[in-house]
Structure 1
């Protein structure tokens, strides 16, 4: 019988973080939120995730204070999901995962380039612009197709 995969008994900040964001769909929901996705149906379409899995992840992210649920319509109630300050705090980790994936798994080049809105330079491993040197955060950049992007058929 397999043991449950939990890290609660480990005195380690990485392990504790993995308890919250350590599964595939959670990180992809967060990525989509950074890309501007806000509504449940848009998350489902953007990610191709089962609705029950998405509902679970969004509820957990809200419970953890990483996202907040905000009503945008009544009758029927409809909600948007937005990153909180705690959620936005994941941006550097997300960018480091992206850069690591680009380095080791993007054989045709990065599928996405993170570009400085100010001058068009790209994000470095130091979270700065490779062109002007400015420190970059999530509101300073936009995603553009990179050389490894797949074209739709």
Structure 2
């Protein structure tokens, strides 16, 4: 099997994030954890994933602090996988992927699962990226300031 190149030391936050969750199985495990799955057998049954691959992805999610193991909630000898605060912070990422998929990979009227607000049963509205002043931002309204540019600004400010 080909080994992936680690991105853990990358300057780009997107690259570092993908080092932890960039594999599609990992994101599907996180999605299933949001849906309440907690046990190895539940993930395996829902995903249809080989045991060795599931075990590897779970180890990676544990190592990156996205999941943690906890005693089984039913008091049995099993361990369960629970989202950590870092894992729960992936909620907008999963919602964003879901909404992007709904917008671009389903025909109009084609049936698919729907994320709804538990308070009122209404579909969750599309995510938006907003500026500090509330303006809606699109790809042309923001730019990534690279590390070398940030360092240069910091150096000039220190003079």
TM range (shorter): 0.7 to 0.9
> 2:88 & 2:45 partners in 1: Cα distance?
22
> 1:51 & 1:68 partners in 2: Cα distance?
18
Structure 2 unmatched runs, 5+:
129-159
Consecutive aligned runs of 4 or more in structure 1 exceeding 2 Å deviation: 2-10, 71-74
TM-score for the superposition, normalised by structure 2: 0.71
1:72-110, Cα deviation, whole Å (9 max, x unpaired): 256xx4210000000000000110000001111012535
Q: Contact 2:9–2:16 (CA<8 Å) still a contact in 1?
A: no
Aligned to 1:80: 80
TM-score for the superposition, normalised by structure 1: 0.73
The structure that has the greater radius of gyration is 2
Structure 1 unmatched runs, 5+:
128-153
Q: Contact 1:71–1:78 (CA<8 Å) still a contact in 2?
A: yes
Structure with greater proportional strand content: 1
Tell me: CA distance 1:110–1:87, structure 2 relative to 1, closer, same or farther (3 Å): farther
> 1:50 & 1:124 partners in 2: Cα distance?
35
Equivalent residue of 1:69, what SS?
strand
> 2:59 & 2:9 partners in 1: Cα distance?
24
